[in-house]
Amino acid sequence: MLLLARYVLPMSAPYIEDGGIVIRGSDIFAVGMRAELLAAYPDEEVTDYGLAALMPGFVDLHTHLEYSVFCGVVDDLPYTRWKMEVQRLEDRLTEDDWRESAVLGSTEAIRSGITTIADVTYSGASLEAADSAGLRAVIYREVSSMDAGKVEAEVAAAFDDMRAWEARSNTARMSIGIAPHGPYTCHPRLFQAVAEAVGTNDTHVSLHLAGSRDEYDFVKYGSSPLGQDFRTQSGWGEEAWMPTGVSPVRYVYQWGVLELPNVLAVHCVHVDSDDIAILERTDVAVALCARCNAKLAMGTAPLGDFLAKGLRVGMGTDSPASNSTIDFFAEMRTGLLVQRSLLGSKDFFTAEEFLRLATIGGAKALKLDRITGSLEPGKRADIIAVDLSHSYQVPTENPYSAVVLTSNLEDVLLTMVDGKALYERGQHLSVETEPMRERFQDIRRKIRD
């Protein structure tokens, strides 16, 4: 199979004008100039996307696909009030509802050009949804409890689930990990228990860390609505909590979880230079969730400082309950503009740098860069085509800025994982989407007051 387009953006090498990609089975076989590939591989079946960019699919470092029916249900609230409102509505959904919501999330991710997700789930709904939709995925089993007496059983149940999920997902596309939710929902003993259970294994581990100012105040000073209202609503109102006097990063560091071999910390907004030094020393990767952080008034992560220290950084769309849509283009654009707005000409980020975070950066953060994240022979064919033929894009001066600053999910022409097209020109090829519509309206009615 030979895919052609005006631009090919390998992300591991300069972009190619009038380029193409040869795919054999699930792998990329060759990347090069259109004329040379047509001459060298005359028998390949050719698809020409015209004035478009062929590039690696997006690596979405942080999703909660099962919350997809929550899109737009809890809007216009700051972080803690948003979290409590979502938590209040969660009980209204059945296991089937969560499962179908995760299927919806998978289709929306694919439509947005996402080819790899790193999803946090308690129910496991996203495992089946991502697997059957054909996505590449790391699925983290979420675990949380502020009740010291329940920690042991919760962590044991989580590892039991992980083993069962591993047995169920036998494709090479899926990996299973564990996600202790975060500092305000996990007892210190829970972090320790996870650290002990993982040990030196390269099990994927993810946690929410230093996201909101309320989390920072709760950990350091024992205050904020996360320390009172949220704990009461969660049934942890009677559990003792003393101010720790340290930042969330330093607090979690002392329980051993950051030193595990394959850790992804989500948000890292409220961090200082000492915190970043800890993340550097422990080789923790960071998921930047720019749009969620902006929407819930959480703040802005110091991206320039992360990159200056050589941290592995990528981008995540976070929960559809917090982000209004799963649109990776909007994610990159918001991230880029917020950083520029905040920093002025200091640490001036380019569209190309953000596209790198969205692809190879995310793959490195998950330690999956040997197989995905860039267009290189031998890697899996995780490829998207993005239309660049709109009037405001022609003639295209710079394909990187055209993709980041002017494109949206509607411009995705192709999403391919492992050499298999999952979405092409408006059609989902791996999931039946038509029967879903009515069902989702029913589910959404349940969570609207």
Token pair listed for 272: 């200082």
Nearest distance from residue 118's CB to Zn ion, in Å?
A: 10
Looking at beta carbons only, is 112 or 212 nearer to Zn ion? 212
Spatial separation of the C-alpha atoms in residues 262 and 388, rounded to whole Å = 37
Q: How far is the CB of 206 from Zn ion (least distance, A)?
A: 9
**Which residues are at the interface with Zn ion (CB under 5 A)?**
318
Q: How many degrees, rounded to 5, is the angle at CA 417 between CA 416 and CA 422?
A: 50
What's phi and psi for 82, nearest 5 deg?
A: -60, -50
Nearer to Zn ion, 44 or 318 (CB): 318
- Measured distance CA(357)–CA(341) in Å, rounded: 19
Q: Smallest distance, Å, CB 319 to Zn ion?
A: 5
Report the residue number, 16 or 313, with the smaller CB distance to Zn ion: 313
Is-contact 143 154, C-beta < 8 A? yes
Nearest approach, Cβ of residue 62 and Zn ion (Å): 6
Sequence-ordered list of residues with C-beta below 8 angstroms from that of 258, at least 6 positions apart, any chain: 249, 252, 265, 278, 279, 282, 284
Q: Which is nearer to Zn ion, 146 or 384 (CB)?
A: 146
Coil/strand/helix, residue 182: coil
Give every CB contact of residue 227 below 8 A, 6+ residues apart in sequence. 184, 217, 218, 241
- 3-state class percentages of the chain: helix first, strand second, coil last, to nearest 5: 40, 20, 40
CB of 292 to Zn ion, least distance (A): 8
What's the min distance (Å) between Cβ of 120 and Zn ion? 6
User: Which residue lies nearest Zn ion, judged by its C-beta?
Assistant: 318
Q: In 10 A of CB 346, how many CB atoms?
A: 8
The conformation of residue 150, written as its DSSP 8-state character, comes to G
Q: Which residues contact 337 (CB under 8 A, 6 or more apart)?
A: none
- Residue 318 or 331 having the CB closest to Zn ion: 318
**Minimum distance from CB of 99 to Zn ion (Å)?**
19
- Cβ of residue 63: shortest distance to Zn ion, in angstroms? 8
Kindly tell me which of 154 and 318 has the beta carbon lying closer to Zn ion. Answer: 318
Residue bearing tokens 């962590």:
155
Of the pair 208, 333, the CB lying nearest Zn ion is at: 208
Q: Is the distance from CB of 227 to CB of 286 less than 8 angstroms?
A: no
Nearer to Zn ion, 80 or 393 (CB): 80
Structural contact between residues 415 and 384, judged by C-beta atoms closer than 8 angstroms = yes
Quick one: which of 88, 7, 18 has its CA closest to 52?
7
